Structure 1
Amino acid sequence: MEKVLFENLEISKEIKRAIRDMGFEEATPVQAQSIGPIMEGRDVVAQAPTGTGKTCAFGIPLIEGIDLERRNVQALILCPTRELVVQTTDELMKLTKYKHSIRIVPIYGGQNMDRQIMALKRKPQIIVATPGRLMDHMRRHTIRLEHLEYMVLDEADEMLNMGFREDIDKILESVPEERQTVLFSATMSRGILEIMKKYLTDPVKVQITKTQITVPSIRQYYLEVSQENKIDVLARLIDVGNFKLSMAFCNTKRQVDELTQEMIARGYQAAGLHGDMKQIQRDRVMKAFKAGETEILIATDVAARGLDIEDVEAVFNFDLPEDLEYYVHRIGRTGRANREGVAYSFVGRRDMYKLRDIMNYTRAKIKYKKIPKAEDIAQIRTKQVMDEILKTMEKENLDRYARAIQKYMSQEEFENYTILDVAAAFLSREVPAESFREIEERPRFAEKFKQKIIAPDKKRGRKPEDKKGHSKRRRR
């Protein structure tokens, strides 16, 4: 697909300036295909996963269409979760950096209702909301939508999965018929098709193909790991990569809690995120992660939906996801803004066929990687300690300590030892040999599945949508 530069788009200089400040030059595929039709006033249906630049795809033309003289709600963006509302609002605020007359208000559950009502009294032109809280305001008549011109359904499939279909119908039936509607969804389920048919008029269809889904800047690996060795392997990969910010995904809330506790016990700055946590807890966790105070965030798929942190260096699939789409969502957390990222998947005996399905679905090569050896970790820890010692020697006055060592070295019990022996003893306390056990995992499947797994391009006659793992979700 031909590259589309934001500078060449027919958008205002204020928006172009804001986009430059955000560090973007080239439009993503979903942006390149959506911005034009939306600016022309067409209804649009875009099938695209998280992490493909959807907010700018609908946000840029939406902001350009706002009438700055009018003091009523002109645009409504519905999102499935509070996190996505906050993220979308933040992105729109960046786009309106040089359009000071545009007011945007986020509306979501868990926030004080009176505070939201006060914000609404300032007459915003754009509202970003979750369906449930928006319905509360509509019943109170604190939000009026009779002048609405733009309607956006973001991650519509997730809203249906969360049980918001009835609310969506009521909202769409209460807004003016003469409006522009844009719908974004990772999948085209029966419910999505029904909404399209009922509420959209001759929509332009945008589909990000499977070859466009997986970001080329993300290096993808799998490791054959038994369940009892997963935590050790995760720790080793973090140490070897020296990752400062990473995410690990588990399939259950219980696994998130257990893994978080184990990683903290091993000395890592870890935090968990899942749906059973109170909102104030989730806010605290995300604030610490964004600030770099937490080095590894361990989460379930639903809890992490809509999170957008640019500096995530690595993603670990501690458990392979049940649904193929979630693999794309997970690894898309790294490699943002054209940075290089890496994704590791832990694969057990029962996971190999699922891994093959993921590769066929994404049309990407996921390379086999050996588990880091104990000796490799010991060398890395030793280098880290020696680097710290070098910094100390360069900055600190160590004369007092040197005299103390000389004093003890002159004593009888030390006569058979050298200064090097003393240094080695200190190092052994920082890098104890007994903490590094060798993990004996004999690869059983890498060669057996090699031809089936790493040659997805040869299966051109078979569409990835026909794969067992994908159809499984549709039957739910």
Structure 2
Amino acid sequence: MNKFKQLGLNDFLVRAVEDLGFETPSEVQQKAIPELLAQDTDMVALAQTGTGKTAAFGFPMIQKVDVNNRDTQGLILSPTRELCLQITNELQLYSKYVKGLNVVAVYGGASITEQARQIKRGAQIIVATPGRMKDIINRNMVDISTVEYCVLDEADEMLNMGFYEDITSILSHTPHEKHTWLFSATMPKEVASIAKEFMKTPLEITVGVKNSGSDKVQHEYYVVGGRDRYAALKRLADTNPDIFSVVFCRTKRDTQKIAEKLIEDGYNAGALHGDLSQNQRDMVMKAFRTQQIQMLVATDVAARGIDVDDITHVIHYQLPDEIETYTHRSGRTGRAGKSGTSMVIITKSETRKIHAIERIINQKFDARKIPNAEEICEIQLYHLASKIKNTKVNDEVEAFLPAVNDVLEGIDREELIKKLVSVEFSRFANYYKNASDDLNAGGDSSSRSDNGSGSAVRYFINVGARDGYDWKVLKDFLKEQLGLDRDDIFKVEVKDSFSFFNSEAVHTDLILSTFSEFKLDGRFINVEVSKNTRGKSDRGDFGNRKRKRSGNDNWSKKSFGSKGNQNKKGKKSKGKKRF
């Protein structure tokens, strides 16, 4: 039996689930859906962004509304236009086999008369942002006196954006006997106040620990001098060539300035802040979703409701004032079952803030060093080699090859490879050749940077994201093969076709011997000591490594990686915890 059907969903919804390819309900769905279907109750559900909350309230609402009654029976409030549209789209997908159900989105930046016209034609479910919903109510364009089910999605974000008065005003136009479902990532005082005022003995479910962060996110911090923040940001980007990230700044001015500097320096970046028009915002978000923008620099308010599942990194260029905001920021990555990384750039005086966040989210931060020039060049060189190796050959070049061969006549294979790589790599290497090598400032990070002993060795392994690994999967794989504890493998960094990890020097012989002739699915998995160990070992020779080879395809067995299974790819509220 379909696992979603076991939750109590009817056949129409189960068919939609199967079409969407959903197989296993998330934890919040398993806890919320059966309760909401079995009884008429108020509910407070605490779960991180990206855990499937839309389906958790969407399926029960769709199943409970009467499609033969064209009155508005369900109201969903969300903090931003993007999230409003996303929820609407998902509900329409869920209800594709439910004939006669209409879901209408109500949000700013679009024609209010057209939205009112759609509602008048019959909208059993309205998905709305608070500001536009209050406006359309005040103009007597909508009647929500028949609402039976009301959802407050991302409640803490809405309240943090200053929507408390709008929400209370909207709810005052709904029936007293309706049922309210409140979904939130954290439970600050304002959310508890809403629950107390508008809900009757709500059922509370919690996914994970209350106010905790997602266990899919790895948290790191880097201590630098105040003037070195931007240089540190560039190095973090350069160390992750396939980065797809949101970079958070505190102010609109800083957001625009940093985005412009990144663009000037050749990065695919864009800015998202409150001074952009709706059209500009739509263009930026479209470019980000299609990954034309790899680094989206945003303010906290402007980034509310961004829902993109493939974000690899969240970078906190500046820490927020409120701890709950950090939770929302880092929740932009590690979504839909994938892992992600949250990087914080701080000065020495801000290290106490890291410890405050650790206590609230119940997770430890990994103290890291900003990569030095040689380490970045090593990663970029491997990335370039992997990119060349995995590039699909364009057959149209065939006609030009005789002339090209004439030009390259007399150059042997090794020399040709060096020249080919140097074409793109030399400019990058020259930049870092003249760059300051150490951006790291003093702090308490040294005691934690090498897992305690300061004798860590850094290793290279020729598998990466292209082979289906993220940092959690690779860490578990290494632990299993080596028979080590999970904490013995640390600082795991997964790139596209290769990765790095650290372990104590005492494990070096075990690691190298285990992977000396190691094969997985007929392919050699090669582990070597990196020259950039950040530890006490200086084994290994960057640019002159011994490779495992098989057959005549010497290039494909180099530890540049080989093709594996391709992955598919406001206003501040009072009473907040502050640092």
Taking structure 2 as the reference length, what is the TM-score of the superposition? Answer: 0.69
Question: Which residue does 1:242 correspond to in 2?
Answer: 241
Question: Which residue does 1:56 correspond to in 2?
Answer: 55
What is the percent sequence identity of the aligned residues? 36
Question: Which residue does 1:459 correspond to in 2?
Answer: none
Question: 433, 452, 461: which is aligned to 2:430?
Answer: 433
Whole-Å separation in 2 of the counterparts to 1:422 and 1:165 = 62
Q: Is the CA contact (8 Å cut-off) linking 1:51 and 1:329 kept in structure 2? A: no
Question: Which residue does 2:85 correspond to in 1?
Answer: 86
Whole-Å separation in 1 of the counterparts to 2:65 and 2:238 = 49
Structure 1 residues 423 and 299 mapped into 2: Cα distance closer, same or farther (>3 Å)? closer
Residue type of the alignment partner of 1:219? Q
How many Å apart are 1:373 and its aligned residue?
Answer: 2.1
Residue type of the alignment partner of 2:356? D
Taking structure 1 as the reference length, what is the TM-score of the superposition? Answer: 0.83
Whole-Å separation in 2 of the counterparts to 1:427 and 1:475 = 46
Q: CA RMSD in A?
A: 3.3
Deviates more, 1:397-406 or 1:80-89: 397-406
Question: Which residue does 1:400 correspond to in 2?
Answer: 403
Whole-Å separation in 2 of the counterparts to 1:76 and 1:420 = 62
Question: 4, 8, 11: which is aligned to 2:6?
Answer: 8
Question: Which residue does 1:377 correspond to in 2?
Answer: 376
Q: Is the CA contact (8 Å cut-off) linking 1:31 and 1:56 kept in structure 2? A: yes
Q: Is the CA contact (8 Å cut-off) linking 2:84 and 2:128 kept in structure 1? A: yes
Question: Which residue does 1:227 correspond to in 2?
Answer: 226
Structure 1 residues 186 and 392 mapped into 2: Cα distance closer, same or farther (>3 Å)? closer
Whole-Å separation in 2 of the counterparts to 1:352 and 1:120 = 51
How many Å apart are 1:472 and its aligned residue?
Answer: 6.9
Q: Is the CA contact (8 Å cut-off) linking 2:187 and 2:211 kept in structure 1? A: no
Structure 1 residues 114 and 355 mapped into 2: Cα distance closer, same or farther (>3 Å)? same
Q: Is the CA contact (8 Å cut-off) linking 1:87 and 1:307 kept in structure 2? A: no
Question: Which residue does 2:252 correspond to in 1?
Answer: 253
1:367 aligns with 2:366: yes
Whole-Å separation in 2 of the counterparts to 1:325 and 1:363 = 13
Question: 34, 38, 41: which is aligned to 1:36?
Answer: 34
Question: Which residue does 2:164 correspond to in 1?
Answer: 165
Whole-Å separation in 1 of the counterparts to 2:425 and 2:193 = 66
How many Å apart are 1:223 and its aligned residue?
Answer: 1.9
Question: Which residue does 1:413 correspond to in 2?
Answer: none
Aligned residue for 1:68, secondary structure, equals coil
Whole-Å separation in 1 of the counterparts to 2:392 and 2:41 = 64
Listed as ranges, the gaps of 5+ residues in structure 2 are 453-572
Residue type of the alignment partner of 2:32? S
Q: Is the CA contact (8 Å cut-off) linking 1:18 and 1:97 kept in structure 2? A: yes
Q: Is the CA contact (8 Å cut-off) linking 1:50 and 1:306 kept in structure 2? A: no
Residue type of the alignment partner of 2:31? Q
Residue type of the alignment partner of 2:250? N
- Alignment map for 1:267-278 (pairs within 5 Å): 267-278=266-277
How many Å apart are 1:210 and its aligned residue?
Answer: 2.9
Structure 1 residues 183 and 392 mapped into 2: Cα distance closer, same or farther (>3 Å)? closer
Question: Which residue does 2:455 correspond to in 1?
Answer: none
Question: Which residue does 2:138 correspond to in 1?
Answer: 139
Structure 1 residues 19 and 222 mapped into 2: Cα distance closer, same or farther (>3 Å)? farther
Whole-Å separation in 1 of the counterparts to 2:417 and 2:56 = 62
Question: Which residue does 2:576 correspond to in 1?
Answer: 473
Question: Which residue does 2:97 correspond to in 1?
Answer: 98
Question: Which residue does 1:74 correspond to in 2?
Answer: 73
Question: Which residue does 1:331 correspond to in 2?
Answer: 330
Question: Which residue does 2:344 correspond to in 1?
Answer: 345
Question: Which residue does 1:466 correspond to in 2?
Answer: none
Whole-Å separation in 2 of the counterparts to 1:156 and 1:422 = 56
1:413-453 deviations in Å (ceiling 9; x for gaps): xxxxx9899778746654442344243125531145789x9
Aligned residue for 1:146, secondary structure, equals coil
Question: Which residue does 2:565 correspond to in 1?
Answer: none
How many Å apart are 1:18 and its aligned residue?
Answer: 2.7
Question: Which residue does 1:265 correspond to in 2?
Answer: 264
Residue type of the alignment partner of 1:250? C
Whole-Å separation in 2 of the counterparts to 1:78 and 1:420 = 57
Whole-Å separation in 1 of the counterparts to 2:356 and 2:146 = 47
Aligned residue for 2:576, secondary structure, equals helix
Whole-Å separation in 1 of the counterparts to 2:185 and 2:147 = 26
Whole-Å separation in 1 of the counterparts to 2:111 and 2:317 = 36
Residue type of the alignment partner of 2:10? S
Structure 1 residues 379 and 359 mapped into 2: Cα distance closer, same or farther (>3 Å)? same
Q: Is the CA contact (8 Å cut-off) linking 2:7 and 2:33 kept in structure 1? A: no
Structure 1 residues 210 and 202 mapped into 2: Cα distance closer, same or farther (>3 Å)? closer
Instruction: From the two aligned structures, give the one with the greater helix fraction.
Output: 1
Structure 1 residues 255 and 210 mapped into 2: Cα distance closer, same or farther (>3 Å)? farther
Question: Which residue does 2:17 correspond to in 1?
Answer: 19
How many Å apart are 1:291 and its aligned residue?
Answer: 1.3
